[in-house]
Structure 1
Amino acid sequence: MRLLAAAFSVVIASAAIAAGVPDHFVWPIPAWMPPPPVPDDNPMTAAKVELGRHLFYDARLSADNTIACASCHAQKLAFTDGRELAVGINGTVAFRNAPSLANVGYFPLVTWANPHVGSLEFQALIPIFGDNPEEMGLNGKENEIFARLRADPFYAEAFPEAFPERPDLDLFTVTRALGAFQRTLISVNSSYDRFKYAGEKNALSDAAKRGEQLFFDHRFECYHCHTGIHFTNNLQTSRSAFAETGMHNTGLYNIGGTGDYPRQATGMIEFTGAPSDMGKFRTPSLRNVAVTAPYFHDGSARTLRDVIDHYAAGGRTIKDGPYAGIGARSPYKDGMIAGFQPTDKEIDDLVAFLESLTDEDFLSNPAYSDPWPAGHPATIERVSP
């Protein structure tokens, strides 16, 4: 039997709310998985989640009606976009690869490199208002765009239902509805989960089982950063005593010191100014990694084999251009990135293991899909990944 299949068929819009208790939300997760932490000022309700789902897929939340949150975070790609770098309105190319939103509610750091962005509500402000680069383009146009949304009959009812104490559509309620929906994007039903937690011994191929052994082997060191239930050392659950915030320099570039450097390479130092933070980026989760290519914060690795080759070499060599250098020689590189010599068979097994982390139910769950009917203004001219 597939792991708690019934739990994953739950449509979040119909999640039960105890009578008179607005923050009682039924999480569609198995008993062994604690829910993510929830901010005190944004308790979970089914009405709020459903409102957030509509906003997430609404292209009218961008200045020119072309970009929705879903434009950079497509469900079939585990809420990534398949591009090296994200693309905003007017074809503006961003500095970073669009990260997966699978299990994003568990991440205490929700951007690639900014250690000050610790909530989904705060993070929503970046694509909505950011202008360097421009993503959704609301900066200075929020009154116009919010008026556009208020005119929709669905929102006229949905906002008062989700926020009875604050029924008007405004930035506070928009960001909190988006945050509530994203916290429900929980992926814990992969083949590996069924093997590891449900006792389905045949859920993994022999190659994936060998790959698991390699993944947790000291020679490869994968598990030191990609650890725990979500294969990342950037983690916090509702039961955690503290938040784990993993940021590392993995030898993608050999750039350091002081001065102006390409934003692709700087990482956390851009926000802290500390030389030791040069090139540090958040450790991404490996769940659904087989469908989230291209990889790394700069989208520079096309395949899982390319990623493994990078770590096997202990860093990347770039021959020319603004990023030229030998990443393995970076004085800021994490000491765990020491390199190793895998055989072709071992790489095949590692890839098989990583592929076993794909949650097919998550990629097609209707609770996470586009709720707007074809031809609705919310979907007009949306740029699909």
Structure 2
Amino acid sequence: MIKVIGSAIVIVITISIAVVWGTKPVKPKTTLVDFTAPFVFGHFKIPQDNPFTYESVKLGRRLFYDPILSGNNQISCATCHKQELAFTDGLSRAVGASGNPLPFNSMSLVNLMWGPRHFFWNGRVTSLESQALMPIQHVDEMDQDLDELIEELEHDETYQELFANAYGDISAENIAKALASFQRSLISANSKYDKYLRGEINLTDEEELGRKLFMAHPDTKVSLRGGNCIDCHSQFLTAGFATGYDGFSNNGLDKDSDLKDGLYEVTGNEAHRGLFKVPTLRNIAVTGPYMHDGRFNTLEEVLEHYNSGIKLSNTLSPLIIEADNREKTDQQSVSLHLTEKEKRAIIAFLHTLTDQEFLSNDAFSDPFRQESEK
């Protein structure tokens, strides 16, 4: 069942245990009774075949930080997803087992139970469970054979116990379930913006101006100035919208001749060429470089792109084409025409999305380091 306490949803999962005569009793799972999620984030769903339990999250956390998941036993999920960087890696493009830069920037792992149900920059999988095993097997990422991984885990007494407690046996399916459970627990909801939403604090005048610009689509007919951010980044999650492919966009990075496939690679629909997943802006101040290929190093560069660097293409978002704080006189150019003061204000607001508690929460940190410090 789900309980609403204040502005948070508390999930209470009840699991019945069947004990069959003559078989080994199954250890009861421990419900995550202290798991909370902001009410404003909206509805979410946890797979029925992968209930959210203390045991599954504990196992997933250990796997996430364990280089045993890679073929050379040197690379873990945390290599490309560092907690202090909101589970990104600070690189323009991720580097894995092969040493070759991957095509894309490492995405932040935060608030994954909401937003588009399509994962990776091109949306090629539709569940966290499906997503979990792909980097492990990819030759340039972790380059691990699943059968060999299972054999290694089966020879580890700690994992024998953790898997027995969480799922029963050690299998590829249960590795994926555990990693997905841990990633679902990575909720960021205590930034300055969240405290503002809860009525606990006020924003500065500059941050408030930035918030208003973030939330507004410019309309010269009514003298409404805006940064056009909310058209792609939903108000509270600041991620892409969940309906269909609404969470994907061509935001004007390249002209037609330079467009990468993006979502088109998955759907085969020409209208989706050059569309990539809209990332969350939660903790955006610590997750640079930015864009799917990490081409911008600073938030100032990102704002300047939207202000004066948009490139026209056949699949460019109409919401970007229409957005202008001046009367349009030239349909061949796209610009927000923000002032320097407005750009600084938007960036000031983006800094209110940094959640220091999330970046240092022991529940999300490296369990091996904690064990060594005891």
Please tell me the residue identity of whatever aligns with 1:192. Y
TM (norm. structure 1) is 0.80
Classify the secondary structure of the residue corresponding to 2:94: coil
Larger radius of gyration: 2
Q: 1:111 aligns to what?
A: 120
2:172 aligns to what? 171
| Per-residue CA distance 1:267-311 (angstroms, 9 max, x = gap) | 111222221111000111111111100000000011111111111
Change (3 A) 1:333 1:272: same
Instruction: State the one-letter code of the partner of 1:39.
Output: P
Pairs within 5 Å for 1:136-155: 136-138=142-144, 141-155=145-159
Flag the 1:135–1:199 CA change in 2: closer, same or farther, 3 A.
same
CA deviation after TM superposition for structure 1 residue 104, in Å: 1.6
User: Measured at CA, do residues 122 and 18 of structure 1 come closer, stay the same or move farther in structure 2, by a change above 3 Å?
Assistant: closer
CA contact (8 A) 2:41 2:237 kept: no
Q: Which residue of 2 aligns with 1:371?
A: 367
Q: Is the 8 A contact 1:314 1:337 kept in 2?
A: no
User: Partner residue of 1:96?
Assistant: 104
1:17·1:46 contact (CA, 8 Å) conserved in 2? no
**1:298 equivalent in structure 2:** 293
The residue aligned with 2:91 is 83
Name the SS of the counterpart of 1:265 in structure 2: coil
**Matching residue of 1:239:** none
Deviation (angstroms), 1:20? 4.7
TM-superposed deviation, 1:123? 0.6
Deviations, residues 44-75 of structure 1 (Å, cap 9, x unaligned): 11001000000000001000011101111100
Distance of 1:90 and 1:349 partners within structure 2:
42
Identity, in percent, stands at 40
Give the whole-Å Cα distance in 2 for the aligned partners of 1:77 and 1:56: 16
Mark the CA change 1:32 to 1:331 in structure 2 (over 3 Å): closer, same or farther.
closer
Matches within 5 A, 1:208-357: 208-219=207-218, 220-235=227-242, 245-256=246-257, 265-313=260-308, 315=310, 328-338=311-321, 339-357=335-353
Displacement of 1:24? 4.1
Aligned partners of 1:78 and 1:100 also within 8 Å: yes
Amino acid at match of 2:313: S
State yes or no: 1:199 paired with 2:203.
no
TM-score between both structures, scaled by the size of structure 2: 0.82
| TM-aligned CA deviation for residue 346 of structure 1 | 1.1
- Structure 2: 5+ residue stretches without partners: 18-28, 219-226, 322-334
- CA offset at residue 373 of structure 1? 3.8
Q: Give the whole-Å Cα distance in 2 for the aligned partners of 1:35 and 1:24.
A: 20
Indicate the residue corresponding to 2:25 in structure 1.
Answer: none
Counterpart amino acid of residue 149 in structure 2: I
Instruction: Report the number of matched residues.
Output: 333
Deviates more, 1:265-274 or 1:176-185: 265-274
Q: How far did residue 23 of structure 1 move?
A: 8.0
CA spacing shift, 1:42–1:245, aligned 2, 3 Å: farther
Letter in 2 for 1:209: E
- How far is 1:366 from its partner? 0.4
SS in 2 for 1:123: helix
CA positional deviation for 1:30:
4.5
Query: In structure 1, how many angstroms separate the alpha carbons of the residues matched to 2:41 and 2:265?
Result: 35
Q: Which amino acid aligns with 2:162?
A: A
CA distance in 2 between partners of 1:31 and 1:270 (Å)? 35
Residues 20-39 of structure 1: matches in 2 within 5 Å? 20=16, 22=29, 24-26=31-33, 27-30=35-38, 33=41, 36-39=44-47
- 2:49 and 2:14 map into 1 onto residues whose CA distance is 19
SS at match of 2:319: coil
Q: State the Cα distance separating 1:35 from its structure 2 match.
A: 6.6
Letter in 1 for 2:182: F
Letter in 2 for 1:158: L
Name the aligned partner's letter for residue 186 of structure 1.
I
Letter in 2 for 1:111: F
Cα distance in 2 for partners of 1:331, 1:16 equals 48
- Indicate the larger mover: 27-36 or 303-312: 27-36
Q: Which moved more, 1:335-344 or 1:293-302?
A: 335-344
Q: Is the 8 A contact 1:231 1:286 kept in 2?
A: yes
